[in-house]
Amino acid sequence: MRRLMNGIAFAGAACALIAVSGCASIEDVEHAQATADRAQATADRALTSASQAQQAANSAQSAADRAQQAAVTAQSAAERAVTASNQSRTDITALNQQFENMQPRRGMRD
């Protein structure tokens, strides 16, 4: 990316110099060089900003991946808790039934 930006800046400067060669004053050439230098500096800053943005995006993706894994783990734990709760409810119902079966019936003689 940097090579490309350098190439574009220098190609632009070279084209400007060729276009004005033979009729360009020293001031014109200096102005063209200053313009090319500013373009190069702008390209360098853009490249730095793009790199920082890429790093931020990578960090955000890592955080999202960790959050997704935590959500999967929580979902799995919740499903296990629901299963355990259902089993407990079934066990309690069975125990209540056993208890009722052990109670003497009213109106029955011993």
C-alpha 18/C-alpha 103 separation (Å) is 110
- Please report the pLDDT score of residue 108 as a whole number: 56
- Please report the pLDDT score of residue 65 as a whole number: 98
pTM above 0.85, yes or no: no
- Please report the pLDDT score of residue 101 as a whole number: 87
Residue 17 in contact with residue 29, Cβ under 8 Å?
A: yes
User: Dmax over Cα atoms in the chain, in whole Å?
Assistant: 130
- Please report the pLDDT score of residue 11 as a whole number: 65
Per-residue pLDDT of the chain (110 residues; tens, 9 = 90+): 666 666 666 666 666 555 555 577 889 999 999 999 999 999 999 999 999 999 999 999 999 999 999 999 999 999 999 999 999 999 999 999 999 888 877 665 55
Among candidates 43, 20, 46, 45, which has minimal Cα distance to 32? 20
The token duo for 48 is 């730095």
- Please report the pLDDT score of residue 68 as a whole number: 98
